[in-house]
Structure 1
Amino acid sequence: MSKKIKNICIITDAYPTPDDPKNPFIDQLVVAFAEKNINCTVINPVSVTKKIIRKSVLRPKQWSKKTLNNKIQIYSPRYVTFSSKKFGFINTNTLNLKFFEYSCIKMLKKLNIKFDAIYGHFIFPSGISASTISKKFNIPAFFAYGENTNYTIDYLGKKRTRELLKDISGVVSVSTANKEILVEQNIVPEQKIKVFPNSINNKLFYKRDKDKMREKYGLPKDAFIVAFVGRFVEVKGANRLAKAIEKVGANKIKSVFIGFGNVRPNCDGILFEGKQPHDKIPELLSAADVFVLPTLAEGCCNSIIEAMACGLPIISSNRSFNDDILDETCSIRIDPTNIDEIAKAIEKVYEDDELRVRLSKGSLEKSKSLNIEERAENILGFIKGNLQ
């Protein structure tokens, strides 16, 4: 019989606060854990160096967040960081990791809570720290692998990362593609990895009445609107989408670009461009006709799942990171670098009402299994099954 879980320690290098809502997805998972009567303690070390150099705002050293039926405790011990540099035999990432680990260990000793499991968010520094703490405190450790590139492995290199993670109890991978990365590079044995695609809060992300949402945000009632949600960077492809819209014709296609960054979209017919609070995004998505994200790299894209839950047909990358969440029932898959392909897919959805309705229904159906409560339950079951 698997051991019951009462207390989980979550380690992350970025946990959202009311003033700094960065990385909301780890918070959604922790809230879901807490709502299943798990006592959740988050350790989120923050860099005092970044405060000095970048003039960033330090998070509170200690605060709590109330959920519907529980409360999450968050601690942010301070630590020193160095610029990520590798020269000769010196790798400053090793120092960054040591200071991060030390701040976590010091906090765990101070808290003196008997944790049943430690859960690190991403490999570096949280997952590796969870593995180190596991050996020191004899607590089973797990980490989530949701990165869209090899960057958290490259900090220390494959060999050193593999060595530091050898005692990890299990890995939560957000996609089959991510699992294959870990297996092919021999970072973690395959039997320790389980795939749990990202998910959404379906109490926030659901389909609203399109006409009401267009009226609320002052959007034209009869326009065909393409929605994009993501950072304005080359990887996400807002610039490529803008070029595709120009090809189709801004007289046909209007657009809403939700995000921020330096690689901004530039096309006629943009109705809105910029940041939006997270709770406003599902309303704007519900006002659109199709969601387009020509992304080059993902772990598992929350924005796509959020758009699906709002009933939008999806046009996105044909690369393997989308295979767990997209199929022909809800999406058109395209080469994210091919402007002509993106344009043809948009035109196809624009011209074919029957296709648009079918893909919309497929998105709604597919998103039903991608809710945060079910994901939290599955992850907790995986952790329970791997407790020693």
Structure 2
Amino acid sequence: MSRHQAGSTVVRVLAVTSMYPVKRDPGLGAFVATQIDSLRNLGVEIDVVFLDVKQSKWELLGGITEVRRKVHSERYDLAHVHFGYNGIPVSLQREIPFVVSFCGTDLASPKFRAISRWVSRRAAACIVKSEEMQQYLDIPTHVVPNGIDLDHFQPMSKLRARQRLGLPEKGRLALFVSNPDRIEKQYELADLALATVRQRGQGIDPLVVFNKPHRELPTYMNAADLLLLTSSREGSPNAIKEAMACNLPIVSTDVGDVRQVIGTTDNCVLADASPEDIARGIEQVLDTGRRTNGRESIVSLSAEVIGRRVLDIYTSVLEDRS
């Protein structure tokens, strides 16, 4: 029997994800952890089933047994799947409804799209991170971007941040917060653009950060002169919102919801996916030499606000089921 009843504020959720911080990869799925924490702060009780698909894709098959065991032994109201193919184990049970959050690659990549669409048709509700992602599904969706912990991501002095990280106090740094080996992140494009800027006489070096604890990222954001995002595809890239929360200038390709999020924010530049255009964006930011007013633009994307929107979806699913 479910613990959720009319008028009750207690909702029990089983989160199923292959993206969640682990010791060997403390930055993995930090946005999922942030959302789960925000929902817990709102009184939602959440257990997490972590499917370690990076170690073995067989985890998805093992997840079928684990999800069934959890659903049979615990009194959950619903499940929340993060990333399309993690919905396979949840789709194969009928005891509780589930919500699925698609994260970007699971829909944009042809390799994952078919299974994601299969999962979407079995879900009680589907969440996408940006309007752009809606084109891949033929069913109604909720557009809910990832939220940002504004208490964690705050502006601080660049000098203090660099001292804390042991970075040189002088010189300019372009922050790249993804694994450069991931093809869709297009690090070679960032590298070529930075080389072009240097050839024109402006000094700037890359600061590549990944596989770091999420709690350290605000310090890197404040130590840098700009955030550089050169991806070929994204859903709702957290790095953009985190940079804005720290008032860090941004140069980005026009992917996911980046255009909507940065809007008219001062000293943030959208560029074509070419070294020349990205270099021009970098030079534009460096020439101004100032931080942005991004923080004031993303209050609506705080973790708490987004958590409430997700909780509203849970409530709607449960009301439809009752």
**Fold agreement, TM-score > 0.5:** yes
Which stretch of the first structure deviates more once superposed, 2-11 or 305-314?
2-11
Match status 1:100 vs 2:60: no
Change (3 A) 1:279 1:320: closer
Answer yes or no: is 1:300 the counterpart of 2:236: yes
Alignment counterpart, residue 283 of structure 2, candidates 347, 357, 363: 347
CA 37–145 in structure 1, closer or farther in 2 if over 3 Å, else same: same
Contact 1:178/1:321 (8 A) holds in 2: no
In structure 2, the CA distance between the partners of 1:240 and 1:373, relative to structure 1 (3 Å rule), is: same
Q: Is the 8 A contact 1:3 1:384 kept in 2?
A: no
1:24 paired residue among 30, 37, 44: 30
Match of 1:223 among 164, 171, 174: 171
Distance 1:150 1:34 in 2: 28
Aligned partners of 1:132 and 1:164 also within 8 Å: no
Q: What is residue 310 of structure 1 aligned with on the other side? A: 246
Equivalent residue in structure 2 for 1:383, among 306, 309, 314: 314
Q: RMSD of the alignment, in Å?
A: 2.7
Q: Residue 269 of structure 2 aligns with which residue?
A: 332
The residue aligned with 2:207 is 257
Kept after mapping to 1: 8 A contact 2:163/2:169: yes
Cα drift, residue 141 of structure 1: 1.2
Q: Is the contact made by 1:118 and 1:141 (CA closer than 8 Å) also made in structure 2?
A: yes
- Which has a greater percent of helix? 2
SS of alignment partner, residue 8 of structure 1: strand
Matched AA of 2:278: I
Residue in 1 aligned with 2:305?
374
The yes-or-no answer on 1:241 pairing with 2:247 is: no
Deviations 1:309-350 (A, max 9, x none): 1111111012354233232324211112x1000111111111
Structure 1 counterpart of 2:84, which letter? Answer: I
1:5 and 1:116 in contact (8 A); partners too: no
- Kindly tell me: are residues 200 and 163 of structure 1, through their superposed partners in 2, closer, same or farther at Cα, counting changes over 3 Å? closer
Letter in 1 for 2:203: I
SS at match of 1:307: helix
Q: Match of 2:258, as an amino acid?
A: N
- TM-aligned CA deviation for residue 25 of structure 1: 2.0
Residues 384, 45 of structure 1: CA spacing in aligned structure 2 closer, same or farther, 3 A cutoff?
A: same
* Higher strand fraction (1 or 2): 1
Q: Identity across aligned pairs (percent)? A: 22
1:253 Cα deviation (Å)? 2.6
Work out the CA distance in 2 between the residues paired with 1:149 and 1:168: 15
Judge conservation of contact 1:45–1:104 (CA < 8 Å) in 2. no
**1:270-294 deviation line (CA, Å, top 9, x unaligned):** xxxxx54322221121022211111
The one-letter amino acid paired with 1:376 is G
In structure 1, how many angstroms separate the alpha carbons of the residues matched to 2:52 and 2:288?
51
Aligned counterpart, 2:87: 127
Residues paired across the two proteins, number:
310
Q: 1:164 to 1:17 in 2, by over 3 A?
A: closer
In structure 2, C-alpha distance between the alignment counterparts of 1:161 and 1:16, rounded to whole Å: 23
Distance 2:158 2:168 in 1: 11
Residue 168 (str. 1) matches residue 123 (str. 2) = yes
Report the secondary structure of 1:386's partner residue: helix
Contact 2:155 2:247 in 1 (8 A): yes
Residue identity opposite 2:33 in structure 1? D
What does 1:283-294 align with in structure 2 at a 5 Å threshold?
A: 283-294=219-230
Aligned 8 A contact 1:225 1:288 in 2 = yes
In structure 2, distance between residues paired with 1:98 and 1:288: 42
Structure 1 position 152, deviation (Å): 7.4
TM-score between both structures, scaled by the size of structure 1? 0.72
CA distance in 2, matches of 1:163, 1:246: 44
**CA 1:347 to 1:165, structure 2 compared with 1: closer, same or farther past 3 Å?**
closer
Is 2:103–2:128's contact at 8 Å kept on the other side of the alignment?
Answer: yes
Aligned match of 1:199? 147
Q: Give the whole-Å Cα distance in 1 for the aligned partners of 2:187 and 2:269.
A: 17
Give the corresponding residue for 2:3. none
State how 1:43-82 maps to structure 2 within 5 Å. 43-46=49-52, 50=55, 81=58
Shift in CA distance, 254/277, structure 1 to aligned 2, threshold 3 Å: farther
Q: Give how far 1:153 is off.
A: 6.9
Gap regions ≥5 residues in structure 2? 1-5
Report the alpha carbon displacement of residue 8 of structure 1 after superposing the two structures with TM. 0.9
Contact 1:127 1:142 in 2 (8 A): no
Question: What residue is the counterpart of 2:214 in the other structure?
Answer: 278
Contact kept in structure 2, 1:5 and 1:384, CA below 8 Å = no
Greater gyration radius: 1
Structure 2 vs 1, CA of residues 249 and 46 (structure 1 numbering), >3 Å: closer, same or farther? closer
Kindly indicate whether the alpha-carbon contact (under 8 Å) linking 2:189 and 2:275 is maintained by their aligned counterparts in 1: yes
* Alignment correspondent of 1:269: none
Work out whether residues 178 and 209 of structure 2, in 8 Å CA contact, stay in contact via their aligned partners in 1: yes
